[in-house]
Amino acid sequence: MHLADTWLDGATSLPAGATKAVGWSPTDWVDNTLATWKRLCDPMAQQISTVWASSLPEEAKSMAGPLLSIMSQMGGIAFGSQLGQALGRLSREVLTSTDIGLPLGPKGVAAILPGAVESFAAGLEQPRSEILTFLATREAAHHRLFSHVPWLASQLLGAVEAYAMGMKIDMTGIEELARDINPTSLADPAAMEQLLSQGVFEPKATPAQTQALERLETLLALIEGWVQTVVTAALGERIPGEAALSETLRRRRASGGPAEQTFATLVGLELRPRKLREAGALWERLTRAVGMDARDAVWQHPDLLPATDDLDDPAAFIDRVIGGDTSGIDEAIAELERDQQARGADDSGHDGGPVDN
């Protein structure tokens, strides 16, 4: 990781963000990211904890009586079981702590999962040492962004959380089970557990979330595009297989692998950034036009970042950066800094991990 950061120093003006480098087992990954997953999944869990009781016919409700609260608890338990199984599967697939583009682990802790890396490398032609260096450099680049762009981690996780809060559960299957329930089974915990385990919780996006989803997907694409740009600049002449490895990861992400599927199940969000190539091309063109210092200064405030339309036509955005068009941004940055200071005072008793950003 030290070598990766040394090479990145020549590719970005953002300083090193990782203060600790570790190797994680799948269990370590779950332990270190669970708090963030709970935050992201809580809106879905809250809906599911009440959906069973609210779907029961009146006869069953009257017979259930005090057991309704137990049903709510068991609905939450059913989702908790689903969460545990999904994270268990995902923990065997992720390569690094930032593999899916979100700051899931503790701030400043760069982590690589050797077991998953070994499986990933098995089908590739590049030497293991090059693959490991490539992944370590990507991990270090992510940490530079998440550590030194103060608003990024909280806004990114907050956007996912807000999206999940607006999610609606498709209750069709649950309502059918509730209508067919035998009221006498409500007094049998074993029968109830079996019944609850049959539920298939299908999240459905509401029309109001479409715009929010586009913004979130654009931000994810900008993060990935920036990481790819600086990693290519840092490794392009040092690791012959860098371009092939980048393409492999891009295809892995675009195909909707286990990470994307798990996230869709748990949070109701298809975490597949759109326009990855366009975002990467924009950052590359911007670097050539204004240099890495001005390029990285774009991350000072979310209003300075490219919008979705800019990915399709980056020329106008690059012209704005060259022309120094920051109308209204200074005031926005000052307001953002005041908000962060106030939040920091409120969170002074926390450990500073991504959940408390």
Task: Identify the band that residue 277 occupies on the pLDDT scale cut at 50, 70 and 90.
Answer: confident
83 three-state secondary structure: helix
Q: What is the mean pLDDT of residues 124-153?
A: 95
Q: Is the pLDDT of residue 318 over 80?
A: yes
| Spatial contact of 168 and 206, defined as CB atoms under 8 Å apart | yes
pLDDT for 159 equals: 80
pLDDT for 138 equals: 97
Q: Smallest Cα–Cα separation from 280: which of 215, 216, 224?
A: 224
CA pair distance 187, 173, nearest whole angstrom: 22
Q: What is the mean pLDDT of residues 264-279?
A: 72
| Spatial contact of 293 and 9, defined as CB atoms under 8 Å apart | no
Q: Is 290 exposed, middle or buried (0-12, 13-18, 19+ CB in 10 A)?
A: middle
Q: What is the mean pLDDT of residues 290-312?
A: 93
Q: Is the pLDDT of residue 72 over 50?
A: yes
Tokens linked to 329: 């941004």
| Spatial contact of 13 and 293, defined as CB atoms under 8 Å apart | yes
| Spatial contact of 140 and 18, defined as CB atoms under 8 Å apart | yes
Q: Is the pLDDT of residue 285 over 90?
A: yes
How much of the chain, in percent, has pLDDT values that exceed 90?
A: 42
Q: Is the pLDDT of residue 295 over 90?
A: yes
| Spatial contact of 14 and 144, defined as CB atoms under 8 Å apart | yes
Task: Identify the band that residue 20 occupies on the pLDDT scale cut at 50, 70 and 90.
Answer: very high
Angle at 26 (CA atoms; ends 111, 147), nearest 5 degrees: 25
CA pair distance 155, 44, nearest whole angstrom: 19
The more confidently predicted of residues 267 and 296 is 296
Q: What is the mean pLDDT of residues 335-350?
A: 58
User: How many alpha carbons lie under 13 Å from residue 222 in its C-beta half-sphere?
Assistant: 26
Task: Identify the band that residue 265 occupies on the pLDDT scale cut at 50, 70 and 90.
Answer: low
Q: What is the mean pLDDT of residues 252-279?
A: 71
Q: What is the mean pLDDT of residues 278-306?
A: 94
- Best-predicted range by mean pLDDT among 156-160, 227-231, 336-340? 227-231
| Spatial contact of 51 and 176, defined as CB atoms under 8 Å apart | no
Task: Identify the band that residue 355 occupies on the pLDDT scale cut at 50, 70 and 90.
Answer: very low
Which residues, including other chains, have CB under 8 Å from residue 2's CB and lie 6 or more apart?
Answer: 21
| Spatial contact of 256 and 272, defined as CB atoms under 8 Å apart | yes
Helix ranges, 15-57 (H)? 26-55
CA pair distance 288, 334, nearest whole angstrom: 29
pLDDT for 354 equals: 45
Q: Is the pLDDT of residue 77 over 90?
A: no
Which residues, including other chains, have CB under 8 Å from residue 334's CB and lie 6 or more apart?
Answer: none
Beta strand 168-170 with 20-23 is unpaired
pLDDT for 328 equals: 45
Q: Provide the strand spans (E) within the chain.
A: 20-23, 109-112, 168-170, 202-204
- Taking only the tens place, the pLDDT of each residue in 87-117 is 888 899 999 999 988 899 999 999 999 999 9
Q: What is the mean pLDDT of residues 44-63?
A: 63
Q: Is the pLDDT of residue 120 over 80?
A: yes
204 three-state secondary structure: strand
